[in-house]
Amino acid sequence: MIKTVCSRGKIVAKTGNEVMAEAMRQIEPDVVAAYPITPATEIVQIFSQFVADGIIKSEFVAVESEHSAMSTTIAASAAGARAMTATSSQGLSLMWEMLYIASGLRLPVVMAEVNRALSAPINIHGDQSDTMGARDSGWIQIYSENSQEAYDNMIQSIRIAEKAKLPAFVTTDGFIISHCMEVVEVYPDVDVKAFIGEYKPDRYLLDVKNPYTLGSIDLQDYYFEHRYQLAKAMTDAKDIILDVADDFKETFGREYGLYEKYMIDDAEIAIVVIGSVAGTSKVVVKELRKRGIKAGLLKIRVYRPFPSYQIAKDLKRIKAVAILDKADSCSGAFGPIYSDVAASLCSIGMVSSCPKIVNYVYGLGGREINTDHIFSIYEKLKKIVLGVENFSNKIEYINVRIK
C-alpha cells in the first residue's frame, strides 16, 4: 500500500464540476476523450483548458459523440494509457454498448458522471435514471453526497479501478452538486500524485515485446468463465475499495466506507438514501433525535459492488425502513435500490423477521425534495411501528401530482 504524508490542503469555494475537473488535472491522465453534455459539459471544458494552457500534458480528444468518447477511451486504456472521460444522461445511454466492452475487457477507465434524467420528455435536471440503468454493466459505481466527496471519490477511483482491473464512475447529482458552490478542501498536487502512484499496466497492446489478443470472439467454450471472472472481480473490489479508503484516511484525514451509518446503531426507524439527498436527510435526523425519536440514516456510497451482507446486517434489527429511489424501475415491482436492499435482507434469512420496508420514488426530473418531505417519511415509519397506519409494500411517490 502507498503511504504518504499530506501537507495541509487549500480551502476553496468550488462547484462539483470544478472540483471533478480539478481532481482530473491533479491525476493528469494520459488521455481524456469526451463529448459535451449538460450538466457535465463544464468538467471537460475546464479540463480541456488545462490542456490548452499547457498546465498538464494529457492528450484531450474532442470526439463527435459520447459513443465515440467511450470507444476512444477504451482504445487508449487498452493501449496502456491511464484514460478518463465524463458524461451524463443521454450521453451515458449512448455509451451503453461500450460500457459492457470496457468492463468485459477489464479496462480501468474512470468516468466523471453527472446524474441527469433520461428523455423523454426532454429534461436536463438531476435524477439517477441514467446510472441506475447502467447498474449491471460491470462498472464500479461510487456516489457523492457533496462536492468534497466528489473530489475525494475521483482521486480514490483511479487507484480502485487500476487495482481491481475494472472501470469505475463517480457520480454527482446534476445541478444540485454539479453547479452549486461549496467549501472544499483541495489537496496539494504532489500529495495527490503520490497517492495515486504511477500507472503500470500488467499488459497492454502497445507492448510489442509481449503481444496478446484482446477482444477476440468467445463462444460457448469460454464466455461463461470470463463473465464469472468479471462478477468475481466486482465482488473482490469491495476489499480494494476499503483498502484504498484506509490509505486515503491516513494520507488526507477523511474517512470513507462502502456506506455511511448516521445515528443508526440504536435507531428504531431509518431511511436508506444515495447521493445529495443525504445532506437534507441528516438535518431531519438530528432534529428528530432532539425530539427523542430514535431515527437513523444509511447512506450508500458504493452502489456497485453492492455491499449486500453488510447493509443487511446493519438494517435487520430496525423496526421500519424507508428506501428512497431517485429512479423509477417502471416495469419492476420496486425501485432499484429497494430491490437490492430487500433482497439482501432476505439473503441473510430475514424473511420472517424482516423490517417493514417502504419504497419511495422521489426527485424525478429534478423535482424538489425538502425537509418537510423527509419528516413526513419518518412520521409514516413511526406510525407503522406503532401500528396506527397500515403497512403497504408498494411504491409511494413523493411530491408528485396524481389525479
Cα separation, 87 vs 89, in Å, equals 7
Cα separation, 378 vs 322, in Å, equals 8
Give the H/E segment covering residue 185: strand 181-186
For 2, 131, 287, 296, 362, the CA distances from 332, given in Å and listed in that order, are 44, 17, 34, 27, 16
φ, ψ dihedrals at 38, nearest 5°: -65, 140
Query: How confident is the prediction along the chain (403 residues), in pLDDT tens digits per residue?
Result: 444 456 679 999 999 999 999 999 999 999 999 999 999 999 999 999 999 999 999 999 999 999 999 999 999 999 999 999 999 999 999 999 999 999 999 999 999 999 999 999 999 999 999 999 999 999 999 999 999 999 999 999 999 999 999 999 999 999 999 999 999 999 999 999 999 999 999 999 999 999 999 999 999 999 999 999 999 999 999 999 999 999 999 999 999 999 999 999 999 999 999 999 999 999 999 999 999 999 999 999 999 999 999 999 999 999 999 999 999 988 788 999 999 999 999 887 655 578 999 999 999 999 999 999 999 999 999 999 999 988 877 899 999 998 6
Cα separation, 396 vs 92, in Å, equals 27
Cα separation, 330 vs 46, in Å, equals 36
For 54, 152, 264, the CA distances from 145, given in Å and listed in that order, are 32, 11, 18
Q: Tell me the sheet residues that pair with 357.
A: 321
Neighbours of 324 (CB within 10 A): 26
Q: Tell me the sheet residues that pair with 361.
A: 325, 397
Q: CB of 110 within 8 A of CB of 84?
A: yes
Of the candidates 159, 160, 155, the residue with the CA atom closest to the CA atom of residue 22: 155
Cα separation, 115 vs 132, in Å, equals 10
Residue in this structure with the C-alpha cell 389525479, named with its chain if needed: 403
Cα separation, 326 vs 93, in Å, equals 17
| Structure-block grid coordinates of residue 120 | 423523454
Q: For the chain, which domains are there?
A: 10-252 (3.40.50.970), 259-397 (3.40.50.920)
- Report helix, strand or coil for 359: strand
For 1, 298, 356, 390, the CA distances from 384, given in Å and listed in that order, are 47, 19, 8, 7
Global pTM value: 0.96
Which amino acid does the sequence have at 367? R
